[in-house]
Structure 1
Amino acid sequence: MDNIYLKADMSTFKKIVEFANINSVGIEYLMSFDDYKSLQFLKHSGIKYTIHSVFFDVELGSLNPYVRNESKKILRDVIAMCNELSPENLVIHHNYNPYKYAFKEDSFVERFVDTFLDVIDGKNSYPISFENVFEFDSNIGLKIVDKIGRDDIGLCFDCGHFNMFSEEYIHSWIQKWSKKLFSFHLHNNYGKYDEHNVLPDGSFDIYELKDYFVNRILTIENKTISEFEVSLKYLKEIIG
């Protein structure tokens, strides 16, 4: 199960790492604003890891230039830290919300990509994946990675967010993303709240994704060890 990871943060790190080691899987570390400048302990954890960047109020595509500048400072620190840690993947929220940005995708993409390229300056030595959250279809993610045009910049498909917001058929979305799809975030809900339930507990059918799992990072996003036990067993049954 070389491609399976479990979400962990500072409060759950020790327990999740112990469980992950026992089950021969990795972790995806969710950064917070309190610890995102000091994660050298990941290097010494003895486990493979991906990293999820801080995301609340980090708005590279904001209409407000002052917000963009503050967001750049944060993400520059994230990129610099990840250059030292060399994660298997770095997940970033582009934070496009169609209602917040009045459905003006192209102008958002222009601002976001210009700001992102200024931040990264070609200095990453690891893949970066942009995650879907509030968008209704696959378009915004594709527009961002196509405009960036780099092989090491791709996409992370979050099935829980898809289940809440998408108006596009699942296989249409995934097929459009397939050439740039680096990773999956796996959790479940009933379409109203981002509950991060275990994989079999919700209205999204994880089996729909089975054929797309090969050679992609699979991160289970639950909250407790008992939940990870259920989801990991379920995912292994799906993978076969």
Structure 2
Amino acid sequence: MNLVTIQPRLHQLSEYVKMAQSEDFHLELIEPAYPENLDRLEEHFSTLLEGLPDGLAKVLHGPYIDIAVHTADREIREASRRRVAESLKWAKSLGVESLILHSNHLPMINEAGYDRQWLRGTLDFFDSIDLGSVTVLIENMWDSSPDLTVELVERFDSEQLRLCFDSAHWNVYGRSSLDEWFQQAGKYTPYVQYGDNFGDHDADLALGSGNLDWSELDRCLRTYAPGADVMVGVGIDDGRRLTESLAFLRGHRIHPFPRLSAPGPDGE
């Protein structure tokens, strides 16, 4: 059965826990995604665990801003790897199933060898760490296509390294169509982050409020990644955008919410 996750913030944790429990949702924890939190994760997670029922959190979002585990610059590489290793330690400690990391590949760099350095450096990093029982999900950010991340997953050759598709990032930066993207990457994509915008920036709109082609995304997921779990992403929110987004997904029967059953022979 597909999971639906939502992203709580600490100041609204009790409301998100109540919603998750009443809706049979789970949580994606996002604290390490922001640089200002990385030196006080112990404080954040201590507070969070006081109000978090066992088993409710399934996914942890790791650091991504200014992170470059692949770079040839030794000092930046080592600092980045320490930050990611710390988030992996917390993923193990919290007992979540998956840790999300951004690809952080910069397609605007056209210097010879950059793509190969990204691939070599990223593979070297994952070869050097013990993932335990955690699956790492590489999320598209500025990626115009899934070419390099698919190559990364295939070369690493383990089910513990898979892909996360962020629809908001694709809508801004993607150059491959949804069908082309999922034909190539769908079998490696167990997790999708839903977001909406107008293709100009990552706006955290209520789902259905931007120009994302939701019917096409729904078709591609049901065709190429039917087992994918989904995070309903609306950024920092007082609950209204999240409620509107869930109503949109249900009303339009977007994956993983069920389609209408086909009518019977008597039209019933």
Could you say whether these structures have the same fold, taking a TM-score greater than 0.5 normalized by the shorter chain as the test? yes
- Per-residue deviation at 1:42? 4.1
Please name the residue that 1:45 is paired with.
52
Q: Which residue of 1 aligns with 2:244?
A: 230
Structure 2: gaps (5+ residues) = 33-37, 259-268
Gaps of at least 5 residues in structure 1 are none
- Is 2:36 the counterpart of 1:31? no
Q: Which residue of 1 aligns with 2:72?
A: 63
The normalised TM-score by structure 1 is 0.90
Residue number in structure 2 paired with 1:220: 232
| Alignment partner of 1:81 is 2:90 | yes
Structure 1 residue 4: Cα displacement: 0.4
Q: How does 1:1-240 map onto structure 2 within 5 Å?
A: 3-32=3-32, 33-37=38-42, 39=45, 41-42=48-49, 45-46=52-53, 47-100=56-109, 102=111, 104-118=114-128, 120-121=129-130, 123-211=131-219, 212=221, 214-222=226-234, 223-224=236-237, 225-236=239-250, 237-238=253-254, 239-240=257-258
Larger Cα-atom Rg: 2
- Please say if residues 154 and 180 of structure 1, whose CA atoms lie closer than 8 Å, have aligned partners that are also in contact: yes
Count of matched residue pairs: 238
Partner residue in 1 for 2:266:
none
Query: What residue identity is the alignment partner of 1:86?
Result: G
What is the alpha-carbon distance in structure 1 between the residues aligned to residue 111 and residue 28 of structure 2? 32
SS of match in other structure, 2:41: coil
* Equivalent residue letter for 1:45: L
Where 1:49 maps in the other structure, the secondary structure is strand
**d(CA) in 2 for partners of 1:206, 1:133:** 19
TM-score normalized by the length of structure 2: 0.81
The alignment partner of 1:8 has SS state of coil
Distance 1:116 1:28 in 2: 22
User: Identity rate of aligned residues, in percent?
Assistant: 19
Moved over 6 A (4+): none
Inter-partner Cα distance in structure 2 for 1:12 and 1:228:
13
| Worse-superposed segment, 162-171 or 7-16 | 7-16
Conserved 8 A contact 1:133-1:162: yes
Counterparts of 1:193 and 1:201, CA distance in 2: 14
Three-state SS of the structure 2 residue aligned to 1:193 is coil
Task: Work out the CA distance in 1 between the residues paired with 2:197 and 2:233.
Answer: 12
| RMSD of equivalent CA atoms | 2.1
